[in-house]
Structure 1
Amino acid sequence: MDAFGDNFTSETDVDPAAEFLAREQNELAGLEDEIPPVVMATPVPVVSSTVEEPAIPAPTVTKEEPEKIKIWREEQATRLKEKDIEEEIKREEWREAAKKELEEWYKHHAETTSKTKATNRNAEKQFVAEADEVEPGTEWERISKLCDFNPKSSRTSKDVSRMRSIILQLKQSPPPTLKA
């Protein structure tokens, strides 16, 4: 293949990319002294060559924010502080309102509980007093007093109309009692 000028196994071949990078570095070598370095907000990755030369970091550039954006950031910060203060004030108001409502609820609950206890005690006393007055043949009358015969019941409860009618029949005409 040497006849065609294709000598691929030559040891004198130089990497074209490395040659290009070396040439560019020599041309740009003096520019670093003339231009001050500029820092960028976002770093640029370091470009390295395949030749064993020191890698040259790309300069970073600092972008300065426009005046309008600085003003907006300051205004935004003050607005956020004001909103935080308002939020804290409202949170304290809600806590105070919740404390008052809770105290009122406990007070109402205590009153309701005490009334219920008093009503239950009176009903128990009355029940015990009536339990002592047991007369034969009044059992069904006592049972009917304990039952709720209100025909208007809620739709979610079971139909107890048949039981109600049987208890009322037994109250009006009790079955004959067996004497022992």
Structure 2
Amino acid sequence: MDFFASLTQSQIAGIILQLVVLPFLFMALRRWGWAKQSVQWPKVKGEVAKSLDFPLSKIIDFLYTYEIKGITYQGTKPFFANSFKNFKKKKTSELMEKYTKGTEVVVFYNPSNHKISTLEPGRKDGIIGALIVLILLFLLGFMAYSNPYLITEIMDYFQNLSSNS
């Protein structure tokens, strides 16, 4: 308990920031890895069971099925992406036309976990940007923990700049 009592507010904030960012960082790294590997995954024929739909909530509503060794699997996203919320109307309409119900598709599946699949191997929309932001936030948390006075000095520097203007 003495360890926690000896921490400054900046150090505690740094630890909390790292703990909050870490799971999101791992998820983004995992998606990025799958997108990179998916180019070399085996492929099977599949079918779109539920057309691609982007309702007002911008939560993707999509389903495709594929079969491997007699077992049917389902996929819910056409490719690995950080988010589908910021899709432009043109991209959205192109995807909706491409993946209509009943369309036969080529499914690339992870050979070590057949539940993980994609229709567009190698595509990783927004994942690189998310990784950069998450890594920067994690490093900021590390800086706040390892050198809490540096964060205070940086904040004071920018505060003095804005007050001198």
TM normalised by structure 2 equals 0.23
Larger Rg: 1 or 2?
1
Larger RCO (alpha carbons 8 Å, 6+ apart): 2
More strand by share: 2
More helix by share: 1
